[in-house]
Structure 1
């Protein structure tokens, strides 16, 4: 079943890729740009296939915008957006297929040194073979292209501005959050790599060891490709960085973006909106109207062309709530998005005549000296949803990943609910859960979900996070601190929050096994709690 979900997700990625493809134009004065298919010598002489899009209605030299393709896609990905940038804003655009994929040579190096060297060679070629301005160079990309753009900008101070859409900053926390394998994401990436490209030695070793149960080679690879660790280099280079991301990104969750944003000291902008991986900007890549690409154009216009378009005067943090189709709200920094916070304390789950399933309260005062045990290894109706599909449904149809709280098996999950909000509340930021557990095995996985529940017990998933206890002494209590993924969610009037913790989720690989148990508790020196940031 898990492989079926991975296959469905891969199919959805492929559909998004097709949507973003646009046929190349020919040399025609009516369209005010030309598109040429060229081979650019990359690192070690590898042929990098590119679409070179040149404006015909403006005088050079032109600002140069280089765009590496996303994972599993090719140089057609940005042709629609590239033509629009060339025709309307006078950019020299080079959209290229990343090494190892489709029509480019070489093998997939997972944004390794070869990919960075390729990007720099593409810039060199653009300066030598087009009328591009060496003092006005930018890079932008979606997903894999975002990571390559950021890593290249950290090494090459010629790059004045970057647009990072649905990218990663910390690859390890993406693929192995809280020491839990993000199963669907890993399988989709591996599958697309083999379907659309030629995996290199590093990727082949990573997959080989991963199939054997050894995750360490993947972690070593991820660490060497961390954008977060290169924040100081981006600051030193004075790179203007625009980040665009989705709340429900199931491959590169958004918490890492907020961390990078806080570390950047130069010109910066961060936009987070509803959607899943690459869905907020997918249609804009084809040249269709799109808020992310419109902001990216303004960002590049200001930092590469010196256009006084007011984007530097806008609040650098722009957030759109994940539900209700609300407008953008601006903040001077990420911290300001969470001006208030409420700490609620977990009480002992218990049943009564009016509440027939064991449920704990989320109380104003610490509730201590209680225990509550569950059976491990089997999931409940609480779930994080399906990679790409669930986030897209939230974005396009405002359909959240739901739950019927009365149907959550209390023998396999801890459930806590708080009081109803008579006027509603906006959850804004990263909720934090703390609880103590006594596992019955050295390694056990837990999955933490936060829901907004109506009076009938129907819930919408606000956010979640996995957590795997590693190397525990069976029976010995362990305090677990979990930062859930950040979100902006408008909880309707009369709804309440519910915290659910169980031990299996189809999106992840769980270390919990049937026959094991987990015992929750709340000691006096560390009461179990849920901290909810609000705005």
Structure 2
């Protein structure tokens, strides 16, 4: 089994760094034209700690409410609040219930948090120069989810910017029946360190980690999913901006594409390199940042009426190694789907051909509970680096133990292969246990063995029978150009430190007829 205790130290370090970054002060230059005050806002039966940054001049202004991120507090957005206030906004940032000095217990974007958000809007209208007809909500991560959910319950919210948020919390927790180990551990750790978890949250986290009462946990998560209230959001018709990262290990982006397609409101979707809350991080520090530029442009358009602001009806995709692209719809980026059959593993190098029609008559057995160097890495850090380097996480492919993994490599094309969309893997299995796990990784392999991780995803199965079965797995969305002369490479093993697994010893055998469906431009 993969040692997991070291994960705790990694996430603790990340949390400490994030808290310090979130406490960074805003630009002093804005102080001359803005006012800042720290206030107590009466929520739904609790007191919420908050701050208000507003233009110093008298007048009526559009207002944006920012709930803080999970584990952070209302000072998180001070830099952006001062910039926005200098540009004519009232900005109210608050610490949701159960966090830091705010009252109550953590409700995890539940009904009490929705009531609190409406109370904050009430207070903002009554106690600031906010125009009640021009109200917005925005946030990063937890604040993003609260903001989008709030737009389903409070019609006064006319524009939303959701940065690194979720639309389907059930999918985020249980995608392909696989629980996310590191991300859930970090959320639990933050709640224990700087929050007051409710008995309900403690029960849900305990059940999740123990893999018990799954339907109950899913129902709890469904109540906290914007997708559950899609009809209400569409009926209220707020303008919705969704921004996220390709490598988000908390809220993988596939859920966003599905939700975006069903939105009938003014809308925009943006995806960039990085991990959870990484792309917007420098903006929280007050540095130039295109996520925040797009966010303020969105509010300019829908709260100020500035037609030069961020445009709706577009899907903006920024890959790691190519120019940014703008499409009219998510599906427009994909021209066709190319099927790569998995071929027989060669005895002399332990690698099979990826390409052509799926072949039969072969098998590859993988020992369960054994990891390889092919893995998703460490939450926040591994994918987060790509936001700053423009380079995906890299391994040296010869180090992948062929006794523990199946490896299939495609022929090297003479032109770049433009991968656009959600790759899907179909695996035929035989002789499997009733429960088990696999993880599939898609790499860009150069001529000397360096392999850049494009995307990956885990899958678990839990049944009452052993024997043969087929697994269909959607990898996380990707936008990437595999250079000419490089080989698209698929690796499959049974363990990844990012996830809980359902292995119970023995082996899992992949057989002929398996394939990869690759969306391409």
Are 1:162 and 2:173 matched, yes or no?
no
- Aligned equivalents of 1:138 and 1:304: distance in 2? 7
Are 1:533 and 2:507 matched, yes or no?
no
Does the Cα contact within 8 Å between 2:267 and 2:313 map onto a contact in 1? no
Are 1:501 and 2:492 matched, yes or no?
yes
Runs of 4+ in 1 over 6 A off after TM superposition: none
What are the Cα deviations for residues 419-471 of structure 1, in whole angstroms up to 9, with x where unaligned?
Answer: 11212222111111101112532110100100111122221100000000111
Are 1:388 and 2:380 matched, yes or no?
yes
Residue of structure 1 in register with 2:349 after alignment: 357
- Aligned equivalents of 1:431 and 1:220: distance in 2? 29
Per the alignment, do residues 288 and 245 of structure 1 end up closer, same or farther by CA in structure 2, a change over 3 Å counting? Answer: same
Does the Cα contact within 8 Å between 1:20 and 1:285 map onto a contact in 2? yes
Q: Which runs of 5+ in 2 are unaligned?
A: none
Secondary structure of the equivalent of 1:252? coil
Secondary structure of the equivalent of 2:139? strand
Where do residues 327-476 of structure 1 align in structure 2 (5 Å cutoff)? 327-351=323-347, 356-471=348-463, 473-474=465-466, 476=467
Q: TM-score under structure 1 normalisation? A: 0.93
Residue of structure 1 in register with 2:273 after alignment: 274
Shift of 1:472: 5.1
Secondary structure of the equivalent of 1:52? strand
What are the Cα deviations for residues 327-358 of structure 1, in whole angstroms up to 9, with x where unaligned?
Answer: 3210000001112221111112121xxxx232
Does the Cα contact within 8 Å between 2:26 and 2:286 map onto a contact in 1? no
With 133-142 and 419-428 compared, the bigger mean Cα shift is at: 419-428
With 373-382 and 144-153 compared, the bigger mean Cα shift is at: 373-382
Per the alignment, do residues 105 and 457 of structure 1 end up closer, same or farther by CA in structure 2, a change over 3 Å counting? Answer: same
Shift of 1:399: 3.9
What are the Cα deviations for residues 229-276 of structure 1, in whole angstroms up to 9, with x where unaligned?
Answer: 222211111110001100111111111111111111121111100111
Residue of structure 2 in register with 1:518 after alignment: 508
Q: Which runs of 5+ in 1 are unaligned?
A: none
Per the alignment, do residues 491 and 212 of structure 1 end up closer, same or farther by CA in structure 2, a change over 3 Å counting? Answer: closer
Does the Cα contact within 8 Å between 1:20 and 1:283 map onto a contact in 2? no
Does the Cα contact within 8 Å between 2:31 and 2:82 map onto a contact in 1? no
- Aligned equivalents of 2:338 and 2:464: distance in 1? 31
Residue of structure 1 in register with 2:147 after alignment: 149
- Aligned equivalents of 2:31 and 2:394: distance in 1? 50
Does the Cα contact within 8 Å between 2:22 and 2:72 map onto a contact in 1? no
Per the alignment, do residues 408 and 215 of structure 1 end up closer, same or farther by CA in structure 2, a change over 3 Å counting? Answer: farther
Where do residues 247-266 of structure 1 align in structure 2 (5 Å cutoff)? 247-266=246-265
